[in-house]
Amino acid sequence: MDESKTALTLLLFPLLLSVVVISALEMKEFTSGVGFLQRARQNDFYEWMVGMRRTIHENPELGYEEFETSKLIRRELDGLGIPYKFPVAVTGVVGIVGTGKPPFIALRADMDALAMQEKVEWEHKSKNHGKMHACGHDGHVSMLLGAARILQEHHDELKGTVLLLFQPAEEGRGGAKKMIEAGVVDEVEAICGFHLEAEAPLGVVRTRSGPIMAGSGFFDAMITGKGGHAAIPQHTIDPILAASNVIVSLQHLVSREADPLDSQVVTVAKFQGGGAFNVIPDFVTIGGSFRAFSKQSLSQLRQRIEEVIVKQASVQRCIASVSFENDKYIFFPATINSEKLHQHFSEVAGEMIGSQNVQSRQPVMGSEDFAFYSQVVPLAYYYFLGMKVNSSAPAQPAHSPYYTINEQVLPYGAALHASLAFSYLKKLESISTTTEETITVHDEF
């Protein structure tokens, strides 16, 4: 009898072993980036994200006014059983998935729209006149909620905590700075964020380590002279002439004072003065922005912009005053990507979408308030997610009234978010376990 049992066991053992191995492989696949992407592509999941994105798109709200967007986020988190903190930075929401204990990794999505009229004619066009989601933030929110759903389905496997940062006021209002001031990233050791990219193919990610987006500042100046009739300019002090000379001189800051290998930009984008063709005005206002990749270069540009405006105006007998920050616009630092997280991202994204679809991206002179997180969180990472389908039609860039989102990109963003956080915590767990085993072996000796 014992011999027959032994024979049967030996006969069945290879079959049982294969079942265990297959089950383990299936579990690994399900908790991998590929598995997360498959989950996000399932019809019910995909339609859920699309529905949220369209609802948010129909109801765009400007910075610190995202009350309905915030309400939708909280409703969905409640439905997923995810606790959260609210309000944070006026309208912000911070979801909490996992143990609630260290280590902490954060995922960020911005919520605000732009003050512009949508010109895309479709069923879900903006219902709020003069407001539009023309930068993809409606998609960002939907994808982070998608990541929240995936992570919540695996919350028992998380050996740490993922914070879901739904941030207000990215568009020049410094919402990230207010989130930081509220203490939401005090214990966070890593943070990731991304932006949709209309020019890159669907499912392709583009990024790099080091500087990826420039820091920026804004300036306003008033140049005051003495107005009078255009027929007798000798009795006036012409501020328009002075402002024109100022603008030309400002362009020399980059062409003749900046290192050609240190990318910088100075742009005058506002010129206002006078209201009649035959009257020289008393004053002119100009304004613009300046950009660079280092704190030192930004500081140098700020100093020189003020000097050039004031002194060049005085050459034309005018008086000038310059201001740099106000309640609406603040200085943004450069966005710097962690080398350590770049390696982690490349591995995770490469496994999910193929290494050929993880591409290098040149730094851009645009700014992002995600940069504030990179100044206070030890490891920060920002990347771009492509959504263009092969077409002869040119992609409409962000901040265009004709900007559209290819909703096929939503599963990619949700899965990447979830996989980056999940695998990061898994890797820390593995390192911690290995360290503990090493210490135990050492103690035995």
pLDDT tens-place string over residues 403-415: 999 999 999 999 9
Q: Which one of 3.30.429.10, 3.30.70.360, 3.10.20.340, 3.30.210.10 gives the CATH number of domain 215-323?
A: 3.30.70.360
**In the chain, what are the domain boundaries?**
27-214+334-433, 215-323
* pLDDT greater than 80 at residue 26: no
CB neighbourhood size of 174 (10 A): 23
Burial classification of residue 319, based on how many CB atoms lie within 10 Å of its CB (0-12 exposed, 13-18 middle, 19 or more buried): middle
At 443 the pLDDT is 38
Q: What is the dihedral of CA 415, 418, 424, 429, to 10 degrees?
A: -120
User: Does residue 126 carry a pLDDT above 80?
Assistant: yes
Inform me whether the pLDDT recorded for 282 exceeds 60: yes
Encoded tokens for 314 = 């005085």
pLDDT top residue among 307 and 325: 307
Q: Which amino acid is at 155?
A: H
Domain 27-214+334-433 of CATH type 3.40.630.10: yes
Measure the CA–CA gap between 111 and 426, rounded to whole angstroms.
29
Report the pLDDT averaged over residues 356-368.
95
Q: Is 171 annotated as a binding residue?
A: yes
Same fold, 27-214+334-433 and 215-323: no
Identify the CA nearest to 163 among candidates 215, 119, 118, 109: 109
Higher pLDDT, 43 or 393: 43
| 156, two tokens | 């028992």
User: pLDDT value at position 27?
Assistant: 42
In this predicted structure, what is the pLDDT of residue 433? Answer: 59
Q: Does 135 carry a binding-site annotation?
A: yes
pTM over the 0.75 mark: yes
What is the CA angle 182-207-373, rounded to 5? 10
**What digits encode the pLDDT tens for the residues 49-108?**
999 999 999 999 999 999 999 999 999 999 999 999 999 999 999 999 999 999 999 999
